[in-house]
A and B are shown apart, each in its own frame.
Chain A
Amino acid sequence: KQEVTQIPAALSVPEGENLVLNCSFTDSAIYNLQWFRQDPGKGLTSLLLIQSSQREQTSGRLNASLDKSSGRSTLYIAASQPGDSATYLCAVTGNSGYALNFGKGTSLLVTP
């Protein structure tokens, strides 16, 4: 059974810092990996999707990398802002390509 772990569980940084969120998964036979953002009491917003054949994806200040063989992904956030405060969730789909397996998330607080 695929298990997804996110470290750290919580993180507090001052505004302007660059930061890295980590995600690991136990079964490397994945179809894709998605990073999501969740604000309190809200649904999930898709940030980046990396297909299994890709190594990284970038969107604005966000960069996600994937090392499938070692079962790891990182989400890099550059020049963090208070508006980045949210929970960040990592999820993978198996080779079947549909059901997402989620980690528990990293709760990020960016202080002014």
Chain B
Amino acid sequence: GAGVSQTPSNKVTEKGKYVELRCDPISGHTALYWYRQSLGQGPEFLIYFQGTGAADDSGLPNDRFFAVRPEGSVSTLKIQRTERGDSAVYLCASSPGLAGPNEQFFGPGTRLTVL
């Protein structure tokens, strides 16, 4: 079956611009996660959705970052007034939910470059 997909695969923007990154989870997965990976580091947790609601957004670095999942499927990560330090690979993952092992499956990521 189809895995997690993310668009765009690459995004180059200028400092101060607004960007949106999209994630399509595996069909039927109720949980969705966003992570950010800087070069040479492991991914860092940003936000977790259970259904439509953000159950934990404690990893968002500041209020320029916001994410939505209005229908409990596709999610969009939004970054306002981008800064050069926002450059990273943004990874999305989905999982069936907490009733079982809750294995997370990752998408290919969006590489964001802020010039």
Q: Which residues of A contact B (CB under 8 A)?
A: 4, 31-32, 34, 36, 41-46, 49, 51, 89, 91, 93, 96-105
Contacts and interface: CB of A to CB of B under 8 A. Distances in A.
Interface residues of B, number: 29
B9 to A, nearest CB: 10
Interface centre among A41, A42, A43, A51 (most CB of B within 10 A): A43
B40 A43 contact: no
List of 6 A-B pairs having minimum Cβ-Cβ separation, nearest first: A102-B42, A44-B106, A43-B108, A99-B45, A43-B106, A49-B103
Nearest to B45: A99
Given A43-B109, A98-B31, A4 B102 contact: no
Interface of B: 4, 6, 31, 33, 35, 40-45, 48, 55-56, 59, 91, 93, 95, 98, 101-109, 111
Contact of B48 (A46, A51, A99): A99
